[in-house]
Amino acid sequence: MTNEILLSISGLQKAFGGLIAVNQMQFDVHEGEILGLLGPNGSGKTTVMNLISGALQANEGKIVISGKDITNLPAHKISHSGIARTFQLVRVLPDLDCVENIEAGLAYRTKPLWGDAAHAAALELLERIGLAKQAHTPAGDLTYIDQKRLELGRALALQPKLLLLDEWLAGLNPSELQDGIALVRKLKNEGLTIIMVEHVMDAIRSLCDRCVVMNAGAKIADGTPDEVLSDPEVVRAYLGDSHA
Amino acid sequence: MSILKPDFIKPVGIGAVIFAALAFLPSLVDSYYMSLAISIVSFAVLATAWSMFSGPTRYISLATVVFFGIGAYTVAVLGEVLPFPLVLVCAGLAGTVIALLVGFSTLRLAGVYFVIFTFGLTELVRQVVSWYEVNVTREMGRYVFLDITQNDIYWQLLALFAVLLLTGFILGRSRLGFALRIIGEDETVAKHCGIDVTRVKVALFVLSALFMTLTGAIMAPRWTYIDPVIAFNPMLSFQVVIMALLGGPRRLLGPLLGVVPLTLLFEIMTANFPNHFSILLGCVFLVIVYLLPGGVVGLYEKYSAPKKRVLATEQNAKPGGNAA
């Protein structure tokens, strides 16, 4: 990747009481790439996502997007600097219908849409993520997959430069997984930069340009999917010493 | 904003006709019924203002009487010094300043902590005013002798209620109102959608407090004598919560459905069981929270459209129920 650096993270540290969840994390994300953030459960991936999106405040370190320091800004300001996210446990606005869920993403972004313009844009986006028929269904009544689509739609409504997908493909059946992978690839082709936390190996191999692997809060590998997945340190982190 | 659309003009037009008709009430009924009408309209303003903030955010506030009392006290202090419209402006300013302070310092609290804080605030303000009266003015009570008739009070409250409903109606169609609904659904999502959650909550808390303060100011001349125990009676906050919950705090006209029957019930209770009022109030509270968690509006929605999800308002009712 020769593209410019979009997001740069250095010396990132987060402790919960005595537990150091993220320890001196450091990596860059280039414009237009999909970066996979991997690691065993509890290795700190979601914490890193929460630090980037402003859901949590870092103890130390620096997060810079397009040259702008966003470390420890409140979440709504980080959203205004071009970062949108989905959540590990899907979060829709259950009592609002699908159109309103998308409008939530449209109405408060840097270039807000409201009223008829927002309604039209929301319907268009629902069409794009395949939820046009459920436009007036309360989000809480959707199936799990459709809630995931809706959550992605809301993130896209923010017109982000960088999209954070936290296990967005988890829990899909094989055919839905293929649809999901195709959708993410389409977003990449449209020029979106994506960081994805993921356990689904098929998705990682087919989507990610580069992977960062974490264990116990620290980075243990950084490279193409094939490189990191054959790295003895990574195998040891996932499977234990006897397999390395 | 799409202000001149038929779906805006029609409800506002109907509202205007109803309020114009209500303005003729004093020429139709005697002073006992006027007094009852004043109670109903004042509770209608308080419960609707309370719901404007607490309905969508589900923050149960017991600070209603703080603002109501501040309004009443402003009139007691300034009533004979300034013309009445200016006194109302001062009351509004005082209420706004206190609401800003309270808002910025407490709206980061969640759930039951917020409920307890607002309840404690009532006591705090009452004690501070008492301390001031005892140590500085050396007079515990104040007289409010103003040339304002019962009918004047009624008309002022009616106008205030009309303004409040119009504000609520516009708010319901505005980005600010939508932001508040999103916050009520999921505060974390709201933040990540780019909403400055604290500012939205404080803005609505202040707006709601402003209407409560003005109600207190308009009602003050009715008493002729006030002291901190009368002006900052926490019972009022509970009454307002019960009324709003009975009616349904998530619709603009919902609280009104609780205000009318409960004001009449309270009237009967105070007339017939003056010594057992608190106990009966508590029973009413429990019955409402257990039997009608979504309020009258919720009941209507449940049976008119069984697919609609009304259970969400249950969450709304519980913290208040515990506080009783």
Cβ of residue B80 closer than 8 Å to a chain A Cβ: no
Helix (H) or strand (E) holding A62: strand A60-65
Of the partner residues A79, A87, A96, the one whose CB lies closest to the CB of residue B194: A79
* pLDDT, mean over chain A: 91
SS3 A87: coil
Cβ of residue B1 closer than 8 Å to a chain A Cβ: yes
Count of residues making up chain A = 244
Please give the pLDDT value at position B22: 92
A73 to chain B, closest Cα gap in Å: 12
B185 to chain A, closest Cα gap in Å: 6
Longest dimension (CA), chain A: 61
Please give the pLDDT value at position A66: 92
The b-or-e profile of B291-307 (16+ CB within 10 A means b, else e) is ebbbbbbbbbbeeeeee
Is residue B213 pLDDT above 50, yes or no?
yes
All residues of chain B having their beta carbon less than 8 Å from the beta carbon of residue A105 are 193
Of the partner residues B2, B182, B188, the one whose CB lies closest to the CB of residue A104: B182
Q: CA-to-CA distance for B155 and B163, rounded, in angstroms?
A: 12
- Confidence class for position B321, pLDDT limits 50, 70, 90: very low
The b-or-e profile of A184-217 (16+ CB within 10 A means b, else e) is beebbeeebbbbbbbebeebbeebbbbbbbbbeb
Longest dimension (CA), chain B: 62
Which one of B192, B199, B200, B314 makes the best mutation probe of the A interface by having the most chain A beta carbons within 10 Å? B192
Please give the pLDDT value at position B323: 36
Using the beta-carbon criterion (under 8 Å), do B193 and A104 form an inter-chain contact? yes
Burial class (CB in 10 A: 0-12, 13-18, 19+), B56: buried
Which one of A50, A93, A152 makes the best mutation probe of the B interface by having the most chain B beta carbons within 10 Å? A93
Is residue B4 pLDDT above 70, yes or no?
no
Please give the pLDDT value at position B304: 63
- Confidence class for position B320, pLDDT limits 50, 70, 90: very low
- Confidence class for position B3, pLDDT limits 50, 70, 90: low
Task: Please tell me which residue of chain A has the smallest CA distance to B310.
Answer: A95
- Span B105-121, average pLDDT: 84
Please give the pLDDT value at position B306: 45
- Span B73-79, average pLDDT: 92
For chain A, domains (ranges, CATH) are 1-79+162-183+194-244 (3.40.50.300), 83-159 (no CATH)
All residues of chain A having their beta carbon less than 8 Å from the beta carbon of residue B180 are none
In degrees rounded to 5, what are phi and psi of residue B36? -65, -40
Cβ of residue B4 closer than 8 Å to a chain A Cβ: no
- Check if the beta carbon of residue A205 is closer than 8 Å to that of residue A225: yes
Nearest to B140 by CA among B151, B121, B127: B127
> pLDDT digit string (tens) for B6-53?
788 888 999 999 999 999 998 898 888 999 999 999 999 999 999 999
Is residue A159 pLDDT above 90, yes or no?
yes
Nearest to A153 by CA among B188, B193, B176: B193
- Dihedral-angle region of residue A5 (phi above 0 means left; psi in -120 to 50 means alpha; beta otherwise): beta
Please give the pLDDT value at position B318: 39
Using the beta-carbon criterion (under 8 Å), do A74 and B191 form an inter-chain contact? yes
Cβ neighbours of residue B92 under 8 Å, at least 6 residues apart? B210, B213, B214, B217
Angle between helices B150-172 and B197-223 (to 10 degrees): 170
Amino acid at B43: F
All residues of chain B having their beta carbon less than 8 Å from the beta carbon of residue A56 are none
Cβ neighbours of residue B66 under 8 Å, at least 6 residues apart? B98, B102, B118, B121, B122, B125, B232
H helix runs in B79-231, sequence order: 84-106, 111-132, 150-172, 175-185, 187-192, 197-223, 228-231
Using the beta-carbon criterion (under 8 Å), do B185 and A94 form an inter-chain contact? yes
Cβ neighbours of residue B23 under 8 Å, at least 6 residues apart? B155, B158
Cβ of residue B194 closer than 8 Å to a chain A Cβ: yes
- Span A220-238, average pLDDT: 89
Please give the pLDDT value at position B307: 45
A4 to chain B, closest Cα gap in Å: 25
- For the beta sheet containing A34-38, the strands, ordered from the edge strand earlier in sequence to the opposite edge, are A83-85, A162-166, A193-197, A34-38, A210-215, A218-223
Which one of B193, B197, B301, B308 makes the best mutation probe of the A interface by having the most chain A beta carbons within 10 Å? B193
Cβ of residue A55 closer than 8 Å to a chain B Cβ: yes
> pLDDT digit string (tens) for A90-134?
999 999 999 999 999 999 999 999 989 999 999 999 998 889 999
Of the partner residues B188, B195, B308, the one whose CB lies closest to the CB of residue A108: B195
Using the beta-carbon criterion (under 8 Å), do A80 and B194 form an inter-chain contact? yes
HEC secondary structure over A90-141: CCCCCCCEHHHHHHHHHCCCCCCCCCHHHHHHHHHHHHHCCCHHHCCCEHHH
Contact pairs from chain A to chain B, CB under 8 Å = 76
B248 to chain A, closest Cα gap in Å: 16
All residues of chain A having their beta carbon less than 8 Å from the beta carbon of residue B251 are none
Which one has a higher pLDDT value, A240 or A206?
A206
H helix runs in B248-293, sequence order: 254-272, 277-291
Nearest to A41 by CA among A237, A221, A244, A201: A237
Please give the pLDDT value at position B305: 53
Amino acid at A59: N
Using the beta-carbon criterion (under 8 Å), do A104 and B1 form an inter-chain contact? no
Is residue B308 pLDDT above 90, yes or no?
no
Cβ of residue B199 closer than 8 Å to a chain A Cβ: no
Which one of A76, A103, A161, A166 makes the best mutation probe of the B interface by having the most chain B beta carbons within 10 Å? A76
- Check if the beta carbon of residue B144 is closer than 8 Å to that of residue B220: yes
Of the partner residues A75, A107, A116, the one whose CB lies closest to the CB of residue B175: A107
